[in-house]
Amino acid sequence: MKREKLPHDLYQFLKRDRVLAGLYATSVRCGVCVYLVGGFLRDLFVLSGHLNVSNSKSAGNDTLFDAPIKYPLNFDYDVVVTHNVKRFCEALASEIGGSLFPLDKKRGVYRLLTEGKTLRYSPFDNRFGFKDGVQIDVSLLSDGDIWADLAKRDFSVNALAVSLKEIFDDKVFIIDPFNGLRDIKEKILKVTVKWLSTATRK
């Protein structure tokens, strides 16, 4: 499995995030492992400037991480949990507050919506604005393995993961089995092999 060391400033940014701190505290209390996955990480790399996406073709170097964070970023959160997902979500709601909704009980997918206003950056209209609360989508880890879970995601740029334990243990690596970081840099939208084979069978 490909693992890329997370840049120091992005790691510090994640470690200071209050929602991630709440997620990690809850994971310790419930005895589960939690991974931050998907669109949160994709948008973090795109908007932070670390992949130099806007001029990657003319950058003239192979360094993926070559710029400081540009924005105080706030996103919706996507996480996967190794087991006991319902118990974890209930404990998380108690830890950080908010309302919990089942999206798919059979597959173990839940959404937690917190209250209050949060500042976030919108890449679509290139401006900051306030959003009502924070959305956290929690799902059960597919097949009990993070690689298997990422393999079922649609595009390589969404098949990224970081262990919350590693964030708070000061040894952070981003799990990138399908070269999603490289595809973000090169502005390539590539379907994962597993997702393509599954979609073709349907």
Confidence of residue 59 (pLDDT cuts 50, 70, 90): very low
Residue 75: the pLDDT is: 62
Count the neighbouring beta carbons within 10 Å of the beta carbon of residue 76: 18
Instruction: Give the long-range contacts of residues 123-132, CB within 8 A, separation 24 or more.
Output: 123/43, 123/46, 123/47, 128/71, 131/74
Residue 72 CA, distance from chain mean position: 16
Residue 1: the pLDDT is: 54
More reliable by pLDDT, 166 or 52: 166
Q: What's the CA angle centered on 161, arms 157 and 165, to 5 degrees?
A: 165
Residue 66: the pLDDT is: 40
% of residues, the chain, pLDDT over 90: 39
Residue 124: the pLDDT is: 46
Instruction: Summarize pLDDT for 106-150 with one digit per residue, the tens.
Output: 999 999 988 765 555 554 455 545 556 788 999 999 888 999 999
pLDDT at 46 over 50: yes
Residue 74: the pLDDT is: 52
CA distances from 94 to 25, 97, 131, 136 (A): 11, 5, 22, 14
Q: What is the DSSP string of 167-196?
A: HHTT--EEE-TT-HHHHHHTT---B-HHHH
Residue 110: the pLDDT is: 97
Residue 28: the pLDDT is: 96
Q: 């939690």: which residue's tokens?
A: 34
Residue 52: the pLDDT is: 54
Residue 96: the pLDDT is: 87
pTM here is 0.79
Domain boundaries of the chain, sorted by first residue: 3-201
Confidence of residue 92 (pLDDT cuts 50, 70, 90): very high
Kindly report the CATH number that applies to the domain delimited by 3-201: 3.30.460.10
- Cα radius of gyration rounded to whole Å, the chain: 17
Question: Between the ranges 22-36, 39-53, 134-148, where is the mean pLDDT highest?
Answer: 22-36
